[in-house]
Amino acid sequence: MGAQQMNAGLNYLLGVEISTSTYILLIAVISVIAMISVITGVDRGIRVLSELNMRLTMVILGLFVVFDSTAYMLTGGLAALQTATIFAALPFSFILIMAIDGLFKSLFEGPLPWQVTLNC
């Protein structure tokens, strides 16, 4: 299903034909990327993919905020500016939720304070 969605997106954006050979090529490319990630291990492979994902997310978010809010402000005035402000603030709520999740994970990663034994 993912290859079909990618093929449809490539068809829409670049005019790549929707065919079985394109599905096979996409599945092969995805499989090679996944295999390289697994071979390099969790510390390196998954981290690289995760960092790449976050960078791409920030670029897309930046483009969305810049171009979307500009279009709203050019066409709608004050109401559009309010909408743009809400759109700009919404991703930060997700970042805050991820930060809270990371905090809780780090708190429960090691032994809890009452589980630590002191060697005196």
Q: What is the chain's Cα-based Rg?
A: 22
End-to-end CA distance of the chain: give it in Å, rounded.
60
pLDDT tens digits for range 30-85: 888 888 877 877 677 777 778 888 888 888 888 877 777 666 666 766 677 777 67
0.85 surpassed by pTM? no
> For residue 24, what pLDDT band results from cuts at 50, 70 and 90?
very high
Residue range 84-113: mean pLDDT, rounded: 76
List the chain domain ranges: 1-40, 42-107
Q: What is the pLDDT of residue 28?
A: 93
Q: What is the pLDDT of residue 115?
A: 67
What DSSP string describes 53-76?
HHHHHHHHHHHHHHHHHHHHHHHH
Tokens of 108: 């429960």
